[in-house]
Amino acid sequence: MGVDVTSLRGRRAVDRWNRVAVGDVVERMTWSFPDRLALVGWGDAIGDPRFERVTYRDADRITNQFAHALAGAGLEPGAVVMMLCENSVEAFLVKLGVAKAGMTVAPVNPSLAPDVIAALIERVEPALAVIDAELAGRVDEVFGATPLRPAVTIEVGGTALPGTVSFGDFVDGQPTEEPEVEIHGDDVWELLFTSGTTALPKAVMLTHTGAHLTGHGFALSLTRGLRIEDELVLCSFLPLIYHVGDHSFAFGTLVSGGTLVLGRRPDPAQIAAAVSAERATALWGGSPQLLSALAPHLATVDARSLRVIVYGWAALDPALLAELERHCADDLLVFEIFGQTEAIACHRFWPSRWPEIYAASAPAVNYVGVPSPLLASMVMDPEGGSLAGSPGEPGEAVYRSPAVMAGYYRDEEATEEAFRFGWFHSGDSCAYDESGLRIMVDRYKDIVKSGGENVSSIRVEAVLCQHPDVAKAAVVGLPHDRWGEAVTAVVVPASDRAPTEEELAAWCRERLAGFERPKRVLFVEEFPETVGGKILKYRLRDEFADTYHEDRPDPEPGG
């Protein structure tokens, strides 16, 4: 068999019997509980009804077929398959099928502006693209400037696009056995795109081993309160196709032998209905704002199956936590996670573990707790030293973990910068408290997190500054009850010009994705700046902090 039984170093496990490969997650369950439900589509996340409720046996068969279909289309191991898809069972099966083929999946947020997607296509050079039918109107807009064209359509919101085949037709008739391909745990199975601080997102390289370890790490928390781990039923209406939540929540469910319930988009009424109907035991709740919108709907259904709720991005109001506890299981566990695409092992903060700290600090102070057992993490000063002995002094959160990215694809400079001093640098400012717990202070990278999406302020500023009536622009995130942070533009008009908010909103509407567009455009005569001309954004955040608490209607995205 050619097995190396002499080397103790430099080995690569690529054989079927002991390799680490993402696609094997569903195959391994076929040897224990093959008819257990693996994936369930809910509401608008259903395309072809054949794929609405998929068992582990089904998932293994279909993903094998998808892998063979890719090979039949001329793709070889290592090829990149791009996806422009929202949540659906078919979309998740695509990801697993690409992994089984020894290829790399590159899912893209469909809401990104066409010029950004075109740049990403140029960066990763995909060999094939999969797209949702409901995006038919964007095909020419998105792909017009590239040689890439969609080849496979997931029939959510319509039928197969011209020149493509449906997901069902693509897999029909293909062999069902496991494809013969060498896969190693350090191979990159997924490229996920993150906004960073520039207009062009970076391609984060994620490995088979990282996905496995992240999944198993999260499974320890997601299965709390269950008698047996495969009783886990996790519900997510937040993106798991183009967000790193696939590693934590999707694989956390599948490595447990549980069931993943996928909703299309975060609709609170539909989330509550799915929790009740599917007897969900765990929920990826996203922001406190989404949980606040969800709580009244949980009161109208039977949500007593829900034992675990995970949130992120901000502290949870104690009153909201109390309301969730009234509606859900008696032993409900609620906790916050703090991580990012490049490092999703995460910090965790349990309000029930530190009740005094939580009661005294939330929601004004965002405690993110301690790193998970998978994660070595400290708060670092600019010289590479630890701030553990300096409570309250802000520094940068840095990480070491097998669940940290392999690098930024085709961006050596950014990768070397990210791993200086031998740690991954998050770009997030944190501080220790007196007991060693971490507090999220601010973001070094001026990313606005609005409605669960990351928005590059530099990109929005660049678009605004192209307008002839704009001399300078600064984009900040301001507190908002619905969006968490609202993308807000502060503009200095050009001399002798008087642009209106409506004019600049229309300008942005033509050039930016919906989630990138400013909710408001505010005008000032000059910016607070350093001697070197750097805008002091914290001063703008302080000055306009109450913008969205005024007694006037809140406009929709883009003004």
Q: What is the CATH number of the domain that holds 523?
A: 3.30.300.30
Residue with tokens 């792909």: 143
- Using a 10 angstrom Cβ sphere, with 0-12 exposed, 13-18 middle and 19 or more buried, the burial of residue 514 is middle
405 found inside a domain: no
Q: Which of 443 and 237 is assigned the larger pLDDT?
A: 237
At residue 23, the 3 state secondary structure works out as coil
Residue 34 lies in a domain: no
Report residue 254: phi and psi, to 5°. -70, -35
Q: Terminal CA-to-CA distance of the chain, rounded, Å?
A: 65
Q: No. of H helices and E strands in the chain?
A: 17, 26
Q: Which residues contact 302 (CB under 8 A, 6 or more apart)?
A: 276
- Please provide residue 329's backbone torsions phi and psi, each rounded to the nearest 5 degrees: -60, 155
The average pLDDT across 144-149 equals 88
Mean per-residue pLDDT of the chain: 92
Other beta carbons within 10 angstroms of residue 301's beta carbon come to 16
pLDDT above 60 (res 555) = no
* Residue 366 identity: N
**pLDDT-derived band of residue 197, with 50, 70 and 90 as boundaries?**
very low
Answer for the pair 93, 51: CB distance below 8 angstroms, yes or no.
yes
Question: 380 by DSSP, 3-state: which?
Answer: strand
What's the pLDDT at 536? 78
- Report yes or no on 538 lying in a domain: yes
In the chain, % helix, strand, coil (3-state, to 5) comes to 30, 25, 40
C-alpha pair distances (Å), 285 with each of 312, 454, 478, 491: 8, 17, 21, 34
Structure tokens that stand for 6 in this block: 């002499």
Is the pLDDT confidence value at 98 over 80?
yes
Contacts of 318 (CB under 8 A, 6+ apart): 351, 358, 359, 362, 363
Q: What is the pLDDT of residue 482?
A: 85
Do 294 and 263 meet the contact criterion of CB atoms below 8 Å apart? no
* Residue 318 burial (C-beta neighbours within 10 Å; 0-12, 13-18, 19+): middle
Nearest CA among 221, 251, 227 for reference residue 59: 251
pLDDT tens digits for range 270-322: 999 999 999 999 999 998 888 989 999 999 999 999 999 999 988 899 999 99
Does 196 score more than 60 pLDDT?
A: no
Give me the mean pLDDT over the 136-146 stretch: 87
Distance CA 82, CA 59 (A): 20
Buried b (16+ CB within 10 A) or exposed e, 232-260: bbbbbbbbbbbbbbbbbbbbbbbbbbbbb
**Is 90 exceeded by the pLDDT of residue 112?**
no
Residue 172 lies in a domain: no
Distance CA 188, CA 396 (A): 27
The pLDDT-based confidence of 550 (bands split at 50, 70, 90) is: low
Instruction: Please give the pLDDT value at position 452.
Output: 77
**pLDDT band (50, 70, 90) for residue 339:** very high
User: What integer is the mean pLDDT of 376-405?
Assistant: 95
Beta-bridge mates of residue 519: none
Helix axes 457-465, 501-509, angle to 10 degrees: 110
Place of tokens 């198993």: 216
Q: At 496, phi and psi to the nearest 5?
A: 60, 20
Q: What is the pLDDT of residues 35-90, one digit of tens each?
A: 999 999 999 999 999 999 999 999 999 999 999 999 999 999 999 999 999 999 99
Q: What is the spatial distance between Cα 345 and Cα 371, in angstroms, rounded to a whole number? A: 8
- In order, the DSSP letters of 83-105 are EE--S-HHHHHHHHHHHHTT-EE
pLDDT at 195: 64
pTM for the model stands at 0.83
Question: What pLDDT, on the 0 to 100 scale, is given for residue 406?
Answer: 97
> Sorting pLDDT into bands at 50, 70 and 90, what band is 138?
confident
Instruction: Confirm whether 364 is domain-assigned.
Output: no
* Continuous H helices in 268-329: 268-278, 288-298, 318-327
- Tell me whether residue 114 is exposed, middle or buried, using C-beta atoms within 10 angstroms of its C-beta: 0 to 12, 13 to 18, 19 or more: middle
Is-contact 73 151, C-beta < 8 A? yes
Whether 476 is in a domain gets the answer: yes
Q: What percent of the chain has pLDDT over 90?
A: 75
Q: Checking DSSP bridges between strand 37-42 and strand 259-263, what pairing results, if any?
A: parallel
Q: Does residue 486 lie within any of the structural domains?
A: yes
Place of tokens 């989404």: 290
Alpha-carbon distance 182 to 231, whole Å?
32
Structural domain for 480, as ranges: 448-549
pLDDT band at 530 (very low <50, low <70, confident <90, very high): very low
User: What percentage of the chain has pLDDT greater than the value 70?
Assistant: 95
pLDDT of residue 280: 98
Query: Residue 200 pLDDT more than 90?
Result: no
Assess whether pLDDT exceeds 80 at residue 137: yes
- How distant, in Å, are the alpha carbons of 283, 304, 337, 351 from that of 309? 5, 12, 11, 12
Higher pLDDT pick, 127 / 139:
127
H helix intervals, 223-258: 245, 251-254
**pLDDT at site 531:** 40
Q: How far apart are CA 424 and CA 405, in angstroms?
A: 9
Instruction: Count structural domains, the chain.
Output: 1
Residue 474 has pLDDT above 80, yes or no: yes
Read off the pLDDT of each residue in 12-31 and give the average, rounded to a whole number: 92
Nearest to 204 by CA among 403, 5, 53, 370: 403
Interatomic CA distance for residues 488 and 519, integer angstroms: 6
pLDDT band at 534 (very low <50, low <70, confident <90, very high): low
Kindly report which listed range (96-110, 156-170, 539-553) carries the lowest average pLDDT score: 539-553
CA dist 417 → 260, 386, 406, 414, 443 (Å): 37, 18, 13, 5, 17
Mean pLDDT of 203-209: 97
- Tell me: cis bond preceding 499? Omega within 30 of 0 counts: no
> Does residue 534 fall inside a structural domain?
yes
Q: Is 464 exposed, middle or buried (0-12, 13-18, 19+ CB in 10 A)?
A: buried
Query: What pLDDT is attached to residue 437?
Result: 97
Q: Which of 365, 266, 255 is nearest to 315 (CA)?
A: 365
Give the pLDDT confidence score for residue 461 in this predicted structure.
Answer: 85
